[in-house]
Amino acid sequence: MTADTTTDVFETHRPVLMGVAYRMLGRVADAEDVVQDAWLRWSAADRSEVREPRAYLVRVVTRLALDRLRRIKDRGEAYVGPWLPEPYVTDFGGTVPDTAERAVLADSVSLAVLVVLESLSPLERAVFVLREAFGFPYAEIAAMLERAEPAVRQLGARARKHVDERRPRYDVDPAQRRELTERFLAAAAEGDLKGLMALLAPDARLVGDSGGRAKAPLRVLESADKVGRFLVAVANSGVPDLSVRFLEVNGGPAVLVLSGGKPDSVFQLDVVDGRIQSVYIIRNPDKLRSLAA
């Protein structure tokens, strides 16, 4: 392969590689580092012996992500308050024309599912991501992980059972989520408690991720009343030079709140039966850097 061909092949598969790495790690910067390391290995490899570049590159990225994930878990990193994945801007656009496939990809990268994936072992997480999100056959996953296929099938079954038991049952309707997000934003900005209560499910919850670096609840808020009153208090406190921007994050509509043109927070909602079930707020500045552009 020429240098241009080498680059073209890698860039063709970059979205898949980034998708695998992010779902494995839940951190955009870590995923980008892994993909960059994969590029260095790809550019130095003897590509004349690579029959399937996509499978080869996914194998490299998976192993690099596994190594990084194990190091993170081995360090036993303490985190202040609830943890949410770093928001990942997603725009499947014309690359995923099939509605069912888009729904699978959106679900596998949702904040709620990624929180559940944090409780899996690194190997379980790798098998789940490769099988459930990207549809790799078990035989191919076994080769990537250098494990026997029966063992990989067991890992996959255990991971799927764990995720299914803990995965929230949310409606996947982007148009409805966008409409409710707009109404939620208007009510929250006006400090309209009555309006918020009309949108929130009675058992609504709010998960705020600040990492101790910004103001946010250090525990999950449970019940529409607590969530609504917290949001009204936030509105009353005000954000200097506030502006907002809609974007697609983790497969669904979200709101980026800016203060003085710089990212302050990201809001995203999960919806069940036309009511807001969960409110996610990410305020950790380290997790908002990728949204600064």
Residue 107 is assigned to a structural domain of this protein: no
Q: Which of 80-94, 206-220, 228-242 has the highest mean pLDDT?
A: 206-220
Number of domains in the chain: 2
Q: Is residue 103 part of a domain?
A: no
Q: Assess if residue 113 is contained within a domain.
A: no
Residues 68 and 45 in one domain: yes
- Mean pLDDT of the chain, nearest integer: 88
121: number of Cβ within 10 Å: 15
Q: Which domain CATH number covers 272?
A: 3.10.450.50
Instruction: Give the pLDDT score at 171.
Output: 61
Give the separation between CA 36 and CA 30, rounded to whole angstroms.
10
Element (H, E) at 126: helix 122-128
**What range does the domain containing 66 cover?**
3-77+122-165
- Same domain for 145 and 178? no
Same structural domain, 179 and 160: no
110 belongs to a structural domain: no
Compute the average pLDDT of residues 26-46. Answer: 93
Q: Using alpha carbons, select from 277, 259, 152 the residue that is nearest to residue 220.
A: 277
User: Do the domain assignments include residue 139?
Assistant: yes
Looking at the chain, the whole-number percentage of residues with pLDDT higher than 70 is 90
123-171 tens-digit pLDDT: 999 999 999 989 999 999 999 999 999 999 999 999 999 999 887 776 6
105 pLDDT tier (thresholds 50, 70, 90): low
Give the position of tokens 């406190």. 237
Judgement on whether residues 12 and 157 belong to the same structural domain of the protein: yes
Q: Is the pLDDT of residue 96 over 50?
A: no
Query: How long is the chain?
Result: 293
Summarize the confidence of residues 6-17 as an average pLDDT: 90
**pTM of the prediction?**
0.86
Element (H, E) at 267: strand 262-272
Residue 64, pLDDT score: 97
Residue 94: which pLDDT band, with cuts at 50, 70 and 90?
A: very low
**pLDDT above 70: residue 284:** yes
Query: Which of 25-29, 97-101, 110-114, 241-245 has the least mean pLDDT?
Result: 97-101
State yes or no: pLDDT of 107 exceeds 80: no
Give the pLDDT score at 152: 97
**Lowest mean per-residue pLDDT among 129-138, 168-177, 273-282:** 168-177
* Residue 109 in domain: no
Q: Which of 138, 165, 192 lies at the terminal end of a domain, its last residue?
A: 165
Strand, coil or helix: what is 20?
Answer: helix
> Has residue 213 got a pLDDT over 50?
yes
CB–CB of 224/197 below 8 Å? yes
On whether both 192 and 148 belong to a single domain, the answer is no
Using alpha carbons only, what angle is made at residue 220 by residues 18 and 127, rounded to the nearest 5 degrees?
30
Q: Are residues 132 and 15 in the same domain?
A: yes
7 and 129 in a single domain? The answer is: yes
